[in-house]
């Protein structure tokens, strides 16, 4: 069905595409790559409402699309079909939704359109291009699991610049010498901060071990030679991840298959590809020096894919 819609949009244009959507508005859209992630957010919200009935500190999900308002009925029908709790839509009628992100106080913008994600990053919004995995991997329905790469995702790309310019040996020397100097923040530091804020609401109820949000640092850094600076940086921010995996250059895909996160963020397409080949929903963060060497594959997208 998605291929059919893509073909109509590419070959017949916007009007034919909108007519197709109107003709099929009682047929729900198929779930996309972010569907399990959104379901997990809603599961956390359910538990937060039980613990804090009067609190409005919840995950706030906004459906943003450059689709036309006429397609809204099909989107609403799809939301209801899957029992999702998404009340806010932003349908921009062909224009980019990026200009609305700050007005929504966006902590994270996900899209399958790499160009729009890059635009969001340039505006200072945490954003990533999300990819469907090559195979289905069952994920938790009760606990949200989010995995982050370190450099150029949670942290700046300062260290990656040194690797590119001077090699690994100089990188190890630099990290050792600057172990107690926190790294600058990367584009997704604010999203980890938002997750941590909600985690603490469960901790304050004595539910640290039963917390429905779990975070992971999954980095190619070596624990012995460059891991301390990453952990000390998080500590200096008043943040932490529940688990830290230092892989010393080993592939990330097999470890992610064990973790089974709802989403994994990395700035290098090599790691994104390796993750999704083994069933992990992976998202590319187009930030830092690595983007000068690799770019994510880009196809023409239908409005429905935003």
- CB-CB contact of 299 with 143 (8 Å): no
- Residue 91: left if φ>0, alpha if ψ -120 to 50, beta else—which one? beta
Active site residue 149: yes
Measured from the Cβ of residue 300, the count of other Cβ atoms closer than 10 Å reads 9
- Would you call 14 exposed, middle or buried from its count of C-beta atoms within 10 A (0-12, 13-18, 19+)? middle
As given in the structure block, the two tokens for residue 205 are 């109820």
In terms of Cα–Cα distance, which of 26, 168, 198 is closest to 107? 198
Q: Which of 113, 149, 151, 267 is catalytic?
A: 149
Local structure of residue 141 (DSSP, 8 states): S
Q: How far apart are CA 229 and CA 222, in angstroms?
A: 11
Q: Which residues are catalytic?
A: 149
């Amino acid at each position: 069905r998605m291929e059919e819609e893509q073909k109509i949009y590419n070959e017949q244009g916007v009007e034919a595409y909108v007519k197709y959507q109107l003709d099929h508005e009682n047929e729900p859209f198929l779930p996309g790559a972010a569907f399990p992630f959104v379901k997990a957010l809603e599961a956390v919200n359910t538990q937060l409402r039980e613990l804090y009935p009067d609190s409005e500190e919840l995950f706030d999900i906004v459906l943003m699309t450059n689709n036309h308002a006429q397609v809204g009925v099909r989107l609403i029908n799809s939301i209801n079909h899957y029992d999702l709790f998404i009340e806010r839509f932003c349908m921009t009628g062909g224009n980019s939704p990026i200009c609305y992100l700050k007005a929504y106080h966006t902590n994270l913008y996900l899209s399958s359109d790499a160009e729009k994600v890059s635009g969001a990053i340039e505006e200072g919004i945490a954003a990533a291009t999300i990819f469907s995995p090559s195979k289905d991997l069952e994920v938790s329905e009760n606990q949200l699991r989010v995995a982050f790469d370190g450099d150029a995702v949670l942290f700046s790309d300062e260290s990656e610049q040194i690797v590119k310019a001077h090699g690994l040996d100089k990188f190890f020397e630099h990290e050792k010498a600057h172990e107690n100097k926190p790294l600058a923040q990367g584009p997704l530091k604010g999203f980890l901060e938002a997750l941590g804020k909600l985690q603490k609401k469960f901790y304050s109820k004595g539910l640290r071990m039963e917390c429905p949000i779990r975070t992971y640092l999954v980095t190619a850094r070596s624990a012995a030679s460059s891991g301390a600076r990453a952990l000390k940086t998080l500590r200096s921010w008043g943040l932490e991840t529940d688990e830290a995996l230092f892989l010393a250059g080993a592939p990330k895909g097999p470890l992610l298959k064990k973790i089974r996160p709802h989403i994994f963020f990395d700035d290098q397409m090599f790691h994104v590809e390796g993750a999704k080949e083994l069933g992990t929903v992976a998202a590319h963060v187009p930030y830092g020096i690595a983007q000068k060497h690799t770019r994510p594959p880009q196809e023409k997208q239908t409005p429905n894919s935003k």
